[in-house]
Chains A and B, each alone.
Chain A
Amino acid sequence: MAAAGDIRSALDLELVPPAPPPQKKAAPPAVRKPEGISRELFSLIGPSSTTLVAQLAKPRLKQKPNLGQGSKIKWEWRAFKNGARTDSLQLHHWTKASADPNEEYQFAKYNVQPVAYTYSQDEYTRFLEDEEWTKEETDYLMNIVREYDTRWYVILDRYDFPSPKERTMEDIKDRYCAVCRKLIRNRPWAGDDASKNLLMASFNFDKDREVMRKKYVASLEGRTKEQIAEEEALYMEIKRLEQNERRFKRDRDDLLRTIAGIESGLPDIVEDEAALTGMLLDAKRNKRKGGDLDSPATPLLGGSIRRIPTVPKNTAYDLQHCITRTDQTGTTKAAHQPAYLRSFKLPFPKASVAPKVSQTLTELGVSHTRLVMPTHANVALLEGLIDAATSLVETKKVVDKVDYDIQVLKNRLGMQGPATKMEEGEDGMEVDDGNDAEGDIDAEGEDGRAQSVVSTRSARSRKQARRSVSVSSVDTSATVSTRAGTKRQRRN
């Protein structure tokens, strides 16, 4: 007796795991006798003979729509407000008189704005540098994409940037998607990995493939009538040849079988060879009986099945024994990692930002030095949290720096009025003196709030802003931009 699996493998079909045991048979629901058939006949043939039933059952027609009957509906020509509009354009439409006039315009919700990705200078230099694109052009691209709501044909039409290269649609799409992808990948992500990957996938763009596809489409559409006719004729010819070939092969196969039997080999006929080896393997497998039901149903090639007797790889088993498996490839025999306590391996923020990161976390009620349950998963979560906090602290630092630069420039602009250079210097000194006394104490007190998650304005920037007055005028230590600004002033 051949099992279903044997037949399948003989036919070179994929082995499927045996069907789950049939569910407990529910008592057949009492089937109602269809109309148009006598009770005796129905009890004889049962509900299964569908053809009979289908023939005998009366055709069921759709109920006639109830038109024009019932109460009359009144329609009105009414003005309405579209909540999605920013202008105050007033439009009218027909609406049921019974509808609430204050109701929100039902199509307003479809005005969905795509997420506009923006990036800071720092992010640009770190992730988004590209030889083909300048930052200015990338900025322009991101703006125009937002303006025209990712309608690429419109964008391409309006795209007008004095770039050295003519941009094709693929160029701008590719750049836009690449920028978005890189930003998503490198920024801390609030949700789980699956949603991140999903979003990343939505920005996948294969430029070469797209170019190729368009070329194909163009050539397909560009054929002449004669070419199409010729192609079709050729196609029919090929089909015919293939059919002939197949028939010929089958005949030859039959002949060989009748003459030489199963040992004939049949070297040319691929299908049969595969079926044969499949049969042979199957015989082997049957001998080994015991049936690995959970072994993957991969096609067995060459018949050499190596099975290393290791610990069964089974998640339930692993969970029970607290086993985690790591990818073995790549691990060398180098050093053995000694036994450790999970909490020894708690992640630690980078030294440069550690105090601020830990302060941020403390505010959120999380201690990064101790966990209640330092399990593998929780340690990984903590790592993600610390990464996010580090990134936050670094962003704030950059904001502070930019703030400082802005203050410097503002002061410079403010002072470049009628005052002469000498007076400027003196002014600056005075302001500086006045500030240092009270300013520093102030700043010390506020420093705690500087990294506060909830604070809206960093106090450090205020502190720097105060100092900036002196820095800009007295050319001592300062940031690059300050010095550059001062020099320009001197030249002037």
Chain B
Amino acid sequence: MAEVMHNFDRYCIHFFNSRDCPHGDKCSYPHKARYEVEQIQYSPGNEYFLGKPRTNQRICRFFLRGNCIHQQNCHYRHENVTDIVLKGVEKSTNNRSPKGITNMNVPSTSQTENVLNKNSINSNLDLQNKEIRISNQEISPCQNENEGTDNKSIAEEGACASPPLTHINDSWVNAPEFVPKSSYRPKSYAEALSPEAIAEKNAKKELCRYVNKDGICRNLTDCTYLHGEMCDMCERLILHPYDEEQRKRHRQECLKQHEKNMELSFAIARSKEKSCGVCFEVIMEKANGEQRFGILPNCNHCFCLSCIRKWRQARQFENKIIRACPECRVTSDFVCPSMYWVDTKEDKEKLIEDYKKALSRKDCKYFKKGQGRCPFGNKCFYLHAFPNGRKCDVGPPLRQRRPRNTEADMDVLQHLMLWDFFDDRDFPWQSLADDLEDLVSFFTDSDDSDWSDYEFIFD
């Protein structure tokens, strides 16, 4: 029989579980029964299980809670809390800023509260501080949770849930002596007597900002700030364990965000296949920066913004033609840019309203904060306001005749009042809209090509 090359990274799981491996002798993993492996694992100094090195030096917080599903396969350390505390004490005497786990699960006879000031923990801990802290925690009762302590954390919950430790006595007896510091604050009678006040106090406690930010706090078992509970929508540890208001608020925010996301994905879904009626390209597949829809308010035909704007700038046709939809010839006064296609009337109305609102916050580049004059008057979508913020009613749009020649351009601009008079006398049938069309074509004919992207509205 050919020699089987063993993979010594781990033992055969089938043999381990049931002493029966389907691969038999040919299995590439070494066959060891459970009891054999356990012997190896619990042998002193062994850091490995099933041949696999523990990759992380951090404590498994699920093990601390007593419910790690990976059991001995877990990447994190599965160690008894007392061991860690002892190690921590040892470290703290050797190391300037030790990272020992100080969270204790010790039934205590003392009524001493955990008195550690958050600030002192946050600041760089000196050796003495550390010792005090450890001693405090060692003798602080597990039930503090209910009575309110400064040291509430997920890890502590976990520690409480884990089975009582048998050799705890040695460790707390050997703990360094408790020396009160200025940060020590005894619990008042009022606090002891009114649980409501405590609940209120708890609710005011800050959440750990690391957990708040990205869900990971390096001081998993060490952190003095509150670690929130998992929000099942955003999957962040952000729900305050005591503050009902905050929880409610966060849930609402999450729901809102979720709705927004849903709307967005619907919008993307309905925009995905839409192609422009002018260039015939699928708009969402166009080059970056051109994936924008130009929505016409009065009909439901789909164009990309660049195409419909270009069409509306075509000077070789009459205004009536270019202001009409290229497909159905329904006239629309303006084009509303949009990232997504809108199907329903309500969506469209909302989009246009938002668009107008956005424009009305921008300064009109022709009004120039009172310096210039806007030919669109109060029909202009943009903001007409003076530098001090006072809004200005610029009145109806200027009335304008089409110039007969290029020299006439300036004359026309300078003699608006006169032209008004002639208009009224000679062309009383002429509607305001016609004049506006002329006005627009006058400006778009001129060198100032910026007019092209200018939004305007007619009656």
The answer to whether A and B come from one shared complex is no
